[in-house]
Structure 1
Amino acid sequence: MSEGIAEIKREYINKLLQVGRRVDGREANEYREIQIETNCIESAQGSARVKLGKTEVLAGIKMDVGTPFPDTPDRGVLTTNTELIPMASPDFEAGPPDAGAIELARVVDRGIRESEMIDLQKLCIAEGEEVWINFLDIYVLDYDGNLFDACFLAAAAALSTTIVPAAEREKGEDYPLPIKHLPIQTTAVKIENSILFDPTLDEEKVADARLTVTTDENGDIRAMQKGLSGAFTLEEVKQVIDSSLCISKELRKLIG
């Protein structure tokens, strides 16, 4: 997008925000329509496809037996990867993960890990020798803003429906992935003096700052990630957290 077009869009979005309106007519804290389909990949142990407005992502879980990390010999392993498929956006290029894809994977992974969503101790087969490894792969199929929340919803939904393939690996009977908590991630952007949740692509392109908050079902903050070059005031951070706690209650109902 050229700087001229970006500036025109910025002015248009700002003019609407000054009178309390967004381009698509939503309220500041309102999310676009969300559709979640689980168990959509037969070859995966767990999977979910999420549509958030026009943004669409697919998450799949593959599990295998492997060696634990030396500092956590009695815990299973979670590894998260995101792939920005070029057909999803003109801005995505084929090749190794860029900085955006790496940040996206880290934010999703941190939210799951810090919330202790998975009881990794129950994925230990033989301490120091064998544990279950969760490979979480997320593919961006269409991009119209707010990949952080779309990817996290897909990841959480996929993990919630995952079955450990113990029988296939001759490790006993299959059983559901042990889930301890159900975290939800929400993302807000700051445009001038306005705070907007679930930003569209156009809103992201003109945003000054971004804040992603992960909370669990008890209302505890488990992870936060600040993005872009702008800043939030302390009061704005509190505002985002308060709104996130309210929004997450509704989003959590979509998963379980």
Structure 2
Amino acid sequence: MDNYWVWTLRLFYTTTGSLTQAFLQTYLIIHLWWDIDVDADLFWVLGVAAAVLALDAVVGVVGSIWKEHFEEEHETLPVFDLFLIFLSIAFNMCGRIVLMAVVAAANEWWLLAAALATPFLINYCVCFSTYSKDEAKSKCRYFFSHCLFPLPIALLYAVTVSQSKVVTVVTTLSWICYSVPQIYNHHESTFQWIIWIVPVVAQCVALVLILIKWTIFKSAFLRFTRQLKSTEEPEKHKKPKNSNKG
């Protein structure tokens, strides 16, 4: 059980800490690209840092999927399937890192905020509706268990894979749609076309691979869905120790 929590903590660390830092490094690269006063060596440092952080996030998620699949199915993933899972997660998460960095560097802050909030809110609403409908003993407990507990799970689903195929498709489309203003406003040169089209194509390829290997992803994230559906512990009806029988 302790080993499971170690992997769970690593999963959330890589999808929040490493992923956020990779986005920041990528944003700095794009933001400073046209600044002639910036030393070229800085871009190499930022690029290596972004690649290492993104790889750490991808490895963390893939490792968790590998372990959870083994826990649920009691069999090790074939090497080819593991390779496809790695590709799909790499294309998916790295595509979103670059897409958010491009949106942040070229558009208004409110568009970036909307781009980040939309996939999260979609998954939060799904998690909230999936949650156990048992009545909590108090309003405080209800707020904590039904409103706060889905937050990290929704964030995980928003940056990786959601709990159903439909939500995964909708989440991916919501990420891609926020690149439309970028496409419309900055498409004068071939380089600019490549900048926005690479993350879009990467996410589309990732989505196809995810849907092909959906059974693996479903089993890997089944534990989180199970926790959402069983938040309320059944009450233990204790019998009196001594019962007087006439």
Quick check: which has more Rg, 1 or 2? 2
With CA pairs under 8 Å and 6+ residues apart, which has the higher RCO, 1 or 2?
A: 2
Quick check: which one's strand share is greater?
A: 1
Quick check: which one's helix share is greater?
A: 2
TM (norm. structure 1) is 0.26
TM (norm. structure 2) is 0.26
